[in-house]
Structure 1
Amino acid sequence: MDLTKLATERRNPDTLTIDELTTLEVIQKIHEADLGVASCITPVLKEISSVVEKVVTAFENHGRLIYIGAGTSGRLGVLDASECPPTYGTDPNLVVGVIAGGEYALQHAIEGAEDDAELGQSNLKTLNLSEKDVVVAIAASGRTPYCLGAMKYAKTKGALTAALVCSSDSPMEKLADISIPVITGPEVVTGSTRMKAGTAQKLVLNMISTGSMVRWGKVYSNLMVDVQPTNEKLVQRAKNIIIEASGATEEEAESALQEQEGNTKAAIFQLVTGVAPHEAKLQLDQHNGKLKEAIRKFTQK
């Protein structure tokens, strides 16, 4: 294995003397490197869009989005998955994050786990993978055995595979049904792929999950209408969303939210259309929870 061939493992000529700089100069170097990360994603927007479309199809057919990776890549996948239930009111089993080494690896380095291809396979086996699912494997190097093992197994089950990598012509890229190579280049500190590569991965994962939720009807205009009001801040956010979407007063929004037992989307439909609380839920169910579509069809009657 020759790591020097990987762009993420090469030395960055702009930071060869970083250990001789002042604190401010060190920070400026890191900032300068980070400024170019977003532009590295531009060439693969179509590929990201393709993954999103496959994920939406999976959701509509009772399939799942499964992220899998090791180290920083795995942690980022788990992070993105864990944010979906509170933000979009999804079942925790809809978007799943799998990391080599399990929950312990979220806070502790278990670097050897990434070399275990059989572990990647067995971790997916426990999820009862099917052809309805989409598996997104994440690795800066694009060669992580854990991810390759998982991808090979996913293919035997008919699941769509995508690879989010930061190296060109990698084994994962070649194996994937859809590859997303984001070439971020050498890191400020050689080989520290939690930096530029990790930032790029986080941006892409944001696009995949957010894009999928938008296309699946979890967003009305640009409002997170399936937010779960599980604490004081989120209750107020839900009321603010209802007010923005319906033009209701705060008192009306609060009352509707209570009548709908915390269902922000149903409260909006109730206030916009003037239907009874139980009718709002029925109408949304008939349109698979797509609020804008439900309102449009109801008002056209």
Structure 2
Amino acid sequence: MTESVPVMHAPTEERNHDTHDIDLLPSLGILQHINTADATVPNAVALVLPQLARVVDAAVERVRHGGRVHYFGAGTSGRLAALDAAEVPPTFGVPPDLFVAHHAGGPRALSQSVKEAEDDDRLGASDAACVHAQDVAIGVTASGTTRYVGGALRECRRVGAVTALISANPGSPLAHQVDVHVGVDTGAEVIAGSTRMKAGTAQKLLLNAFSTATLVRLGCTFSNLMVGVDAGNAKLRGRMVGLLAQATGYTEDTCAETLAETGGNTRVALVSMLAGVPVESAVIALRDAGGSVRGALESLGTGPTTPTHVPDATYP
């Protein structure tokens, strides 16, 4: 008896009527079709930003109370989630385990396909065993049907974690299993079912926006400047000296001296220079403010205004 194979009914699996003859086109024509399709993605993403904002708010609240963010995905979706999680610590200077990516099939699946792993909901539940009630768990799946992701999210919800799903299927059957569904409608792909294209682009935008907004809210930037990066090599020291000069108005020589005095800690150098206090006082103020530069400045009696102050900026 032949095993019944479920037919997937997701927007990404439909045929794109604009590209039926794509295999007859020259290279430029193919690229123009792809580019035209890609241009529709940002508008589709914009429509689901209210739902994404709910996930950001939940993550900010949970992380402030000791929680972590977990991504669960497979294939392209899982690789994009792993990329986002890997880039968060060096960008914002947060602990390497604050954002954790779980990929169906493990590390090997990041560089090669391990297709059977994504159909294993028990594997998803097993990988979710490290998730706690104070965490946020986000499933990432273009089709919105991946069993590995479903198994993980069910386990996460069982233990009390906030759960969310980022998919390219507004009608995802997994939507009812999560607190928030960010279901972006990117429609049919240029090549039917190739979700590394529009769906993948949308997921990359949503993941980057989510992690960035969350860490901005948590005080990991000052204005639009990356202040969480520790200047551990010559290139980064140069970048941070330039950042300090932009933020404070002091000369690069003065900024370099202060940065060296702090051992390469950009936040401490910034607070010390803007508040006009010794490095030791800046360290204490930042500790008491949970690492927020604006919070530390406020506690030292220095308002949020700086040479680069944005009038409508608010405290995280």
Contact 2:275 2:302 in 1 (8 A): no
Distance 2:210 2:268 in 1: 26
Look up the SS of the partner of 1:33 in the other structure.
helix
| Structure (1/2) with the larger helix percentage | 1
Which of 88, 92, 115 is the equivalent residue of 1:88? 92
1:217-265 C-alpha deviation (Å, 9 max, x unpaired): 0010100111132333222111111111111111111111111111101
Opposite residue 44 of structure 2, the aligned amino acid is: C
Q: Identical aligned pairs, as a percentage? A: 41
Distance 1:156 1:299 in 2: 45
Normalised TM-score (structure 1): 0.97
Distance 2:118 2:232 in 1: 36
**Structure 1 unaligned residues grouped into runs of 5+:** none
The match for 1:7 is 11
**Shift >3 Å, 4+ stretches:** none
Contact 1:69 1:77 in 2 (8 A): yes
**Structure 2 unaligned residues grouped into runs of 5+:** 1-5, 304-316
Q: Is structure 2 residue 134 aligned with structure 1 residue 132? A: yes
Which of 283, 286, 294 is the equivalent residue of 2:288? 286
The match for 2:210 is 208
What do you get for the CA RMSD once the two structures are aligned?
1.1
Contact 1:165 1:173 in 2 (8 A): no
Distance 2:38 2:127 in 1: 33
Normalised TM-score (structure 2): 0.92
Aligned pair count reads 298
Distance 1:232 1:30 in 2: 40
Opposite residue 16 of structure 1, the aligned amino acid is: H
Opposite residue 191 of structure 2, the aligned amino acid is: V
Opposite residue 43 of structure 1, the aligned amino acid is: L
Look up the SS of the partner of 1:171 in the other structure.
coil
The match for 1:217 is 219
Opposite residue 179 of structure 2, the aligned amino acid is: D
Look up the SS of the partner of 2:47 in the other structure.
helix
Alignment of 1:14-163 (within 5 A): 14-125=18-129, 127=130, 129-163=131-165
Distance 2:137 2:233 in 1: 32
Q: Is structure 2 residue 191 aligned with structure 1 residue 186? A: no
Specify whether residues 240 and 12 from structure 1 end up closer, same or farther in structure 2 by C-alpha distance, changes over 3 A only: same
Distance 2:28 2:243 in 1: 41
Contact 2:128 2:152 in 1 (8 A): yes
Distance 2:170 2:301 in 1: 51
